[in-house]
Amino acid sequence: MVGGGGWGDYFSVAASARGPGHEVVTLALHIVSGYIEELEVFAGEGIAVPLSGITDLTEPVAG
């Protein structure tokens, strides 16, 4: 599979949720060459959010 950035064998899954302070956060799971490369949980550019307290997770979307 080719990802949106033109990379071969790249796949991502994204969802939204509520963070500990009830802010909207984005979760993005990156899979490269069949392996999980990274799980990002953030509330904006460069604003990391801890997994503890995440609620109201939406249905994931593959991309």
> What confidence score (pLDDT) does residue 28 get?
92
> What confidence score (pLDDT) does residue 40 get?
92
Share of the chain residues as helix, strand and coil, in percent rounded to the nearest 5: 0, 50, 50
Q: Is 49 exposed, middle or buried (0-12, 13-18, 19+ CB in 10 A)?
A: buried
Angle at 12 between CA 8 and CA 1, to 5 degrees: 30
Share of the chain above pLDDT 90, in %: 48
Per the confidence metrics, is the pTM higher than 0.95? no
Per domain, the residue ranges of the chain are 10-62
pLDDT band, residue 8 (cuts 50/70/90): low
The conformational region for residue 5 under phi > 0 = left, psi -120 to 50 = alpha, else beta, is alpha
Q: Please name every residue paired with 63 in a beta bridge, in sequence order, or none if there are none.
A: none
pLDDT band, residue 4 (cuts 50/70/90): low
For the chain, give the mean pLDDT: 85
